[in-house]
Amino acid sequence: MKSRLTLFLTCAVLFGSSPVSAASKSASFAVRVKVVGTCNIRAAALDFGTYKGSSTSGSTSAQVSCTKGMAYNVSLDNGTALRTMSLIGSPASKLTYQLGLSGAVADGSVSGIGKSGVQVLTVQGTILPNQNLVPGEYADSVTMTVNY
């Protein structure tokens, strides 16, 4: 009997007679993100085909994709001024042409507001007539820029 009493007292001391209670605390924290607006631009090559001395026109498309609601402005280097293509392998021979963006204002640029998805712009070009040229392939590189 003494061992039962010892066991009972030991359990009472170890586990106590009062219920075990746990305390808790809470904390709040902020969650945030900054959305940065961005734009991307791509343009396909403009191939005028064959030039036979008369005015020759061609066009290509450019794709602009900007964050929804982002204002942007697209322009071509050298604006709407006359440009030259050089004969490949003989840069002294030049062909004169002109480019413009469909819907452009006087400075040759197009402005818009980013929407969901891609916005397509048309680049139109004209090779001036009556140019006395050395036969061959002529090329130029044009930079199209989107400012936002």
Average confidence (pLDDT) over 74-88: 94
Q: Which two tokens stand for residue 57?
A: 């026109």
Find out whether 59 and 122 touch, Cβ atoms under 8 Å. Answer: yes
pLDDT at residue 143, as a whole number = 96
| Total length of the chain | 148
What is the spatial distance between Cα 135 and Cα 90, in angstroms, rounded to a whole number?
11
User: Residue 108 pLDDT more than 50?
Assistant: yes
Domains and CATH numbers, the chain: 39-147 (2.60.40.1090)
Strands 71-76 and 110-113: antiparallel
User: How many CB atoms are located within 10 Å of the residue 86 CB?
Assistant: 15
- pLDDT tens for each residue of 44-54: 999 999 999 99
- 88: Cβ–Cβ under 8 A, 6 or more apart, which residues? 136, 137, 138, 139
User: How many CB atoms are located within 10 Å of the residue 121 CB?
Assistant: 20
pLDDT band at 21 (very low <50, low <70, confident <90, very high): confident
- Maximal C-alpha separation, the chain: 126
pLDDT at residue 107, as a whole number = 85
User: Residue 123 pLDDT more than 70?
Assistant: yes
pLDDT band at 116 (very low <50, low <70, confident <90, very high): confident
